[in-house]
């Protein structure tokens, strides 16, 4: 379990301060565990030698009620990457 230090927050559902922040979310298959992520293909349509960037998802979980929030790890970098692919978007 990987955790990331984040500012203290309260549960959006029950208000508890017993939060587990920045937990890794795993995507499992028969061979390997991977961090769940969103992938941006820098050259869509390319079949081989694809250039892409992955952005991990992290979870904040309430230790009292179990409510879970999911966040992308580097939202500004994700936005910048997408804007590079679509010039003129803001």
Q: Which tokens belong to 68?
A: 């879970």
**Average pLDDT of the segment spanning 48-61:** 87
Rg (CA), the chain: 16
Region 32-53 average pLDDT:
80
Helix or strand (DSSP H, E) at 22: strand 19-24
Query: What is the band of 61 on the pLDDT scale with cuts at 50, 70, 90?
Result: very high
Indicate whether 78 pLDDT > 90: yes
Contact yes or no for 55/40 (Cβ under 8 A): yes
Which position has the token pair 């309260």?
10
The HSE-up count of residue 82 (CA atoms within 13 Å, CB side) is: 13
In whole angstroms, give the CA distance from residue 42 to residue 22.
27
């Amino acid at each position: 379990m990987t955790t990331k230090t984040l500012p203290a927050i309260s549960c959006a559902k029950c208000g508890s301060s017993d939060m587990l922040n920045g937990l890794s979310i795993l995507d499992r298959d028969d061979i390997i565990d991977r961090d769940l992520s969103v992938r941006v293909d820098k050259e869509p349509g390319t079949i081989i030698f694809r250039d892409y960037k992955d952005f991990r998802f992290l979870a904040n979980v309430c230790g009292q009620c179990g409510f879970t929030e999911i966040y992308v790890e580097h939202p500004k970098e994700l936005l910048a990457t997408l804007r590079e692919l679509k010039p003129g978007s803001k």
